[in-house]
Copies of this chain bind each other. A is one copy, B any other.
Amino acid sequence: MLNRPQSTINNEGNNLNGNSLFNLLHSDDALRIKNEKATSFYKKNQPLFIEGSYPRGVFCIISGKVKVFSTGETGKEQIIRIAGAGDVVGFRALFSEEPYRLSATTLEESSIFFIKIEDFLELVHSQPELLQAVLRELSKESGERADFIKAMAQKTVRERLAFVLLVLESIYKDDLINLSREDLANFVGTATETLIRLLKDFKDENLIEVQGRKIKLIDVDRIYQESGY
């Protein structure tokens, strides 16, 4: 069996075990009670935070999807991560004493609970497992980003698309991948037109099926091969 990059860029890997950041936060009783009220519903395309502003807390995604991105000088977004249910977003900036470098926006209706910065930091410093989880998550993120840098520098657009499709599959799980062509292009790091042409190639080669804007992976093994890993 191929060793697919399921734990890369997104952090699905952690969601399965109880020690993930999300699970530790979510299973905290006091916090949960507090958060019965703190859980909010977000419509599509609502921002959680914006590049340059200062962090006020962390966001735990109960359901829905969020894109985390940075906007270039030309206005083009580079998506760094797509987060889904069980992911925690926006905790990096809490420790760096800097404003956010990235923005986060919902991609679909989402249910998200918010933990205030004071509460979060207090928890982190009072629960060793939580601290451990934060350190692990941060480290993992940093490592994955190094891989991403290499991919951007050395891989072709086609290879990156294959890779991104696999990552997205692990985030969308049973659902079909459902992203605008532009967002998909901004994740792969290419022009929208190039992305569309490559998607068509993939379809012609029976690697994927396309249903409107939705994408279904047909031949995962071959897509993996195409990703060049």
Contacts and interface: CB of A to CB of B under 8 A. Distances in A.
Given A152-B153, A153-B152, A102 B146 contact: yes
A228 interface: yes
Given A135-B134, A142-B145, A150 B72 contact: yes
A148 interface: yes
Task: Give the 8 A-B residue pairs with the shortest CB-CB distance, closest first.
Answer: A153-B189, A96-B139, A152-B152, A145-B145, A95-B135, A78-B150, A95-B139, A142-B142
A146 to B, nearest CB: 5
A52 interface: no
Interface in A126-163: 131, 134-136, 138-143, 145-150, 152-155
B138 A139 contact: yes
Contacts of A95: 135-136, 138-139
A70 B138 contact: no
Among A92, A102, A145, A146, find the residue whose CB has the most chain B CB atoms closer than 10 A: A146
Interface residues of A, number: 39
11 contacts: A70-B150, A72-B154, A92-B139, A97-B136, A101-B146, A102-B143, A135-B135, A138-B138, A149-B149, A152-B189, A154-B189
Determine chain A's interface SS by DSSP, over half rule. helix
Nearest to A101: B143
Interface string A65-105: 00000101110101010000000000011111110011000
A229 interface: yes
Contact of A92 (B72, B93, B142, B155): B142
A92 B148 CA distance: 16
Interface centre among A131, A153, A155 (most CB of B within 10 A): A153
